[in-house]
Amino acid sequence: MDEISLKALAKINLGLDVLGKREDGYHDVRMIMQTIHLYDRVEIKKTRSPHIHVETNLYYLPVNEDNLVYRAAKLMKDEFQIKEGVRIVLQKFIPVAAGLAGGSSDAAAVLVGMNRIFNLGLKQNKLMELGLKIGADVPFCIMETCALVKGIGERITPFAMPCDFHILLVKPAMGVPTGKAFSMLDFEKCDHPDCNEVIHALQQGDLAQLSSVISNSLEYSAFQLVPEIADIKHQLQSIGFEAVLMSGSGSTVFAITRKKELLRQAEKRFHNKTYFVCCTAIKQ
């Protein structure tokens, strides 16, 4: 096999608690992460020349080592002394700087894809270990599951939950740089969800209970940076969605419901504005 085409799936955070800052600069977190069916397309082709060549449909994304797909390919080449190169075509559909782990998921797809086309025979655990060198969300993106995630993102405990609901994503034009949201974090003022309560509500499929327990420590700082996020959240709540929360460090807000008609109402409400609006579902 000389080439492969993979879906790089996005995630949402059904709860995000920042516990504190570590000496190495990373933050200790507890998160409930769920893979969803919004994805980028990543095509990887072996080349005779040793170079890594990246192309993407988004003109403003870097195509050098600043792109996470480039970093993932370089890591695989260096670790396993791969002489050949790769041509990576990245079609982005996941919005950028959105709290949906788009870049991390693209990197995860490159690790998985290169493992296959170069017949490296690496197990998922090894790929996740390599992924952590690229970014804290990469190991989760390799697993593509629903899980309680601890540490900086490397301690992943999957759990099962029902999935008979719809998810709406709404993102304002402006994104939130993850580093900025963390640097503005105020531990006194921000929310600290109890992830065990969130898991319990999810497993019961109890959206009313879920809405009373989900929160995200980074919302407070993201709201300061992009006030439109708070406005979107309030609008989605007023339409009647059962559970509404910002994902990751923003700027996407997701809303959960079992009522299909609410999706249509929300699409109408946000139509013709500069928002990214997308109905999706969780990956089982």
* Residue placing its CB nearer to ligand ATP in the complex, 15 or 248: 248
Dihedral sign (CA 20, 26, 30, 34):
positive
Give the span between the Cα atoms of 109 and 95, in whole angstroms: 17
Answer yes or no whether residue 144 interacts with ligand ATP by CB under 6 A.
Answer: no
Of 127, 190, 248, 275, the residue at the interface with ligand ATP (CB under 6 A) is 248
Token representation of residue 142? 């390799």
Q: How many helices (H) and strands (E) does the chain have?
A: 10, 10
Residue nearest to ligand ATP (CB): 103
Answer yes or no whether residue 139 interacts with ligand ATP by CB under 6 A.
Answer: no
Binding mask 106-125 for ligand ATP (x = CB under 6 A): x-------------------
Token representation of residue 71? 């970093």
**Count of residues of this chain found to bind ligand ATP when the rule CB under 6 A is applied:** 19
Nearest distance, CB of residue 47 and ligand ATP, angstroms: 19
Residues 78-107 within binding reach of ligand ATP (CB under 6 A): 96-104, 106
* 225-253 b/e (C-beta count within 10 Å ≥ 16 → b): bbebbbebbebbeebebbbbbbbbbbbbb
Answer yes or no whether residue 218 interacts with ligand ATP by CB under 6 A.
Answer: no
Nearest distance, CB of residue 137 and ligand ATP, angstroms: 4
Answer yes or no whether residue 216 interacts with ligand ATP by CB under 6 A.
Answer: no
Nearest distance, CB of residue 11 and ligand ATP, angstroms: 7
Give the active site residue among 106, 137, 171, 233: 137
Nearest distance, CB of residue 231 and ligand ATP, angstroms: 19
Is-catalytic flag, 77?
no
The Cβ-side half-sphere exposure at 218, using a 13 Å CA radius, reads 33
Nearest distance, CB of residue 70 and ligand ATP, angstroms: 8
Nearest distance, CB of residue 284 and ligand ATP, angstroms: 21
Give the span between the Cα atoms of 141 and 103, in whole angstroms: 10
Is-catalytic flag, 11?
yes
Residues 53, 47: contact at Cβ < 8 Å? yes
* Residue placing its CB nearer to ligand ATP in the complex, 101 or 202: 101
CA angle, residues 162, 163, 165, in degrees to nearest 5? 130
CA distances 170 to 95, 118, 138, 260, 278, Å, are: 10, 38, 23, 16, 7
Give the span between the Cα atoms of 202 and 209, in whole angstroms: 9
Answer yes or no whether residue 226 interacts with ligand ATP by CB under 6 A.
Answer: no
Of 17, 137, 144, 242, the residue at the interface with ligand ATP (CB under 6 A) is 137
What residues have CB less than 8 Å from 185, skipping those under 6 apart? 18, 27, 217, 218, 220, 221
The contact set with ligand ATP (CB under 6 A) reads 61, 66-69, 96-104, 106, 137, 178, 248-249
Active site residues: 11, 137
